[in-house]
Structure 1
Amino acid sequence: MTAFPRILVTNDDGIDAPGLVEAERIAAALADEVWTIAPLGDQSGVGQGISMHQPLRLSRYGERRYAVSGTPADCVMYAMAEFFANEPPDLVLSGVNWGANLSDSVMYSGTVGAVLAANHLGIDAIALSQAFHARSAVDFAVTRAFAVPAIETLAARRSADGSCCWNVNFPMQAVESVRGLRFTRQVGGAIRAPQLIAGADGRGLAYHWLSFERDTGAISAADADVVALRDHWVSAMPLHGTRCDEALFRRAAAEGEHRLRPAAESA
């Protein structure tokens, strides 16, 4: 018996990424109907960005399988406007990203951005990412073993507003060494500083690649997502789409309104 009537699959690595095939297999094990609408090319690092200055173009890759010339969030929005205006999917799966989305990186992740876009529209969504030790050694064995039971576990757990929105990371370990699923939180500190990698084009003009100095070993909090993977757990972190610091709002609002004088009067 399937858990969902319809699942929408997307990612940030693009329509040809091997992790997308893994996500489609996972969705097929959970749903009666699977749709895939993914970016045409690699959109890693775009977060929840949408395309405002160029049109979106749709390419068909098979039955209920399409690519959009935009971001992961674009794919979710396009799908809702074009295919699901009257009946939204029951779940959006984003991934499976080749590389973990942990700590500070979560805010930049296009994989997570698609999930937040879906949640913004009131659709349950889960981001899936597979950690690796070497980028060239593609191995989704842990994802294959544990994605379906993890999704089934998380789908039953909802936030106070009734939404289901999660960021899931699978450790790169032997399948038999994975200890289970641990609920985690986002702890900053892995990104120490931005870096620029200099180069020159064929005309000798300078350019720079943006990179980061990272140190995940500096994170030691027991409930951190980074630590969960280090300890051979699948990490599941709840997400929400708002940016408001609720605790600070309550403290500030308790002071009441503040009257402000125009700058010229206060000089």
Structure 2
Amino acid sequence: MNKIGRVLVTNDDGIDAPGLAVIERLAAELADEVWVVAPMADQSGVGQGISMHHPLRVTEYGSRRYALTGTPADCVMVAMAKWLRDSPPDLVLSGVNWGANLSDSVMYSGTVGAVLAADHLGLPAVALSQAFHDRSALDFAATEAFAVEAVARLWAAREAEGRCCWNINFPMLDPSEVRGLRFTRQAGGAIVAPQLIDGADGRGLDYHWLGFERDTTTVVDPDADVVALRDGYVSATPLHGSRCDERAFERRAADGGWRLDISDHAE
């Protein structure tokens, strides 16, 4: 395997997350030079958000290793503005997230948000997430067994694909039980509804934790990311940063637009 020149690593679980240590080891196998710019604290659920209402502070954790008081997307932006402006990374890796980023959850994922931020800057990027059955039982075995090969092969195929922007999820299985890698699409339907968990603080004032009611059993499309993991496969979903519905645009653009009637608003 020919090594990649320079890789930027980030995540959304924070600089001290076990998954970041995993991806740093994997990145060292893939690249000659690894930079780490990760959030100071857990930023799960922030999507592609950037910090506009407070300053960003940087703490150095070692050579080419930094923590930032911001979001995963902030980390990519600051790295490109401060350290890597004149020598951009060849690839951005985000993760390894502890917990799958599948179906409706993809749009909220800070792990994926970093990858989309990189894509907007024209940088190839891959998000990596490890599914779990028990949050407290850390086990990145499937990721550690297959991530390097998966990323290396996607990287090698980038010229033919014209892109390298992916969301990869690894099933919670012993590596010997993983059946392969399946290319998938992001499938909706796993989030049933938002929900609030109510509580009261020490002064008796109400507060609410926002969460979701989920049911992944409703997702049955054989090409869906959820189904791939359910069937024992690694899921690899191609991503792009545009929110434009191209099919809807093409239908409406063919109509030539609408003439708007302002008669009801005229004085």
DSSP 3-state at the match of 2:95:
strand
DSSP 3-state at the match of 1:70:
coil
- Letter aligned with residue 93 of structure 1: L
The answer to whether the 8 Å contact 1:123/1:163 transfers is no
Q: Matches of residues 207-222 of structure 1 in structure 2 within 5 Å?
A: 207-222=207-222
The CA deviation at 1:262 is 2.0
Which one is further off, 72-81 or 253-262?
253-262
Residue in structure 1 matched with residue 122 of structure 2 by the alignment: 122
The CA deviation at 1:264 is 2.7
Residue in structure 1 matched with residue 171 of structure 2 by the alignment: 171
Distance of aligned partners of 1:161 and 1:243 in 2 relative to their CA distance in 1, 3 Å threshold: farther
The CA deviation at 1:86 is 1.0
Distance of aligned partners of 1:59 and 1:263 in 2 relative to their CA distance in 1, 3 Å threshold: farther
Q: In the alignment, does 2:147 pair up with 1:137?
A: no
Name stretches of at least 5 consecutive residues in structure 2 with no aligned partner.
none
2:126 and 2:179 map into 1 onto residues whose CA distance is 21
1:263 and 1:125 map into 2 onto residues whose CA distance is 50
1:25-75, CA deviations, whole angstroms, 9 ceiling, x for partnerless residues? 110000000000000000000000000010100000011100000000000
Distance of aligned partners of 1:2 and 1:158 in 2 relative to their CA distance in 1, 3 Å threshold: closer
The CA deviation at 1:229 is 0.5
1:144-188, CA deviations, whole angstroms, 9 ceiling, x for partnerless residues? 000000001211334998321000000001110101110000110
Name stretches of at least 5 consecutive residues in structure 1 with no aligned partner.
none
Q: Matches of residues 1-267 of structure 1 in structure 2 within 5 Å?
A: 2-158=2-158, 162-262=162-262, 264-265=264-265
DSSP 3-state at the match of 1:138:
coil
DSSP 3-state at the match of 2:42:
coil
The answer to whether the 8 Å contact 1:2/1:32 transfers is no
DSSP 3-state at the match of 1:136:
coil
1:187 and 1:218 map into 2 onto residues whose CA distance is 10
1:266 and 1:91 map into 2 onto residues whose CA distance is 55
The CA deviation at 1:265 is 4.4
- Letter aligned with residue 86 of structure 2: N
Q: TM-score, normalised by structure 1?
A: 0.97
- Letter aligned with residue 123 of structure 2: I
1:211 and 1:74 map into 2 onto residues whose CA distance is 24
2:196 and 2:22 map into 1 onto residues whose CA distance is 33
After TM superposition, the runs of 4+ consecutive aligned structure 1 residues lying more than 6 A away are: none
Distance of aligned partners of 1:187 and 1:261 in 2 relative to their CA distance in 1, 3 Å threshold: same
Q: TM-score, normalised by structure 2?
A: 0.97
2:53 and 2:161 map into 1 onto residues whose CA distance is 33
- Letter aligned with residue 125 of structure 1: A
2:237 and 2:111 map into 1 onto residues whose CA distance is 14
Aligned length: 267
1:263 and 1:12 map into 2 onto residues whose CA distance is 51
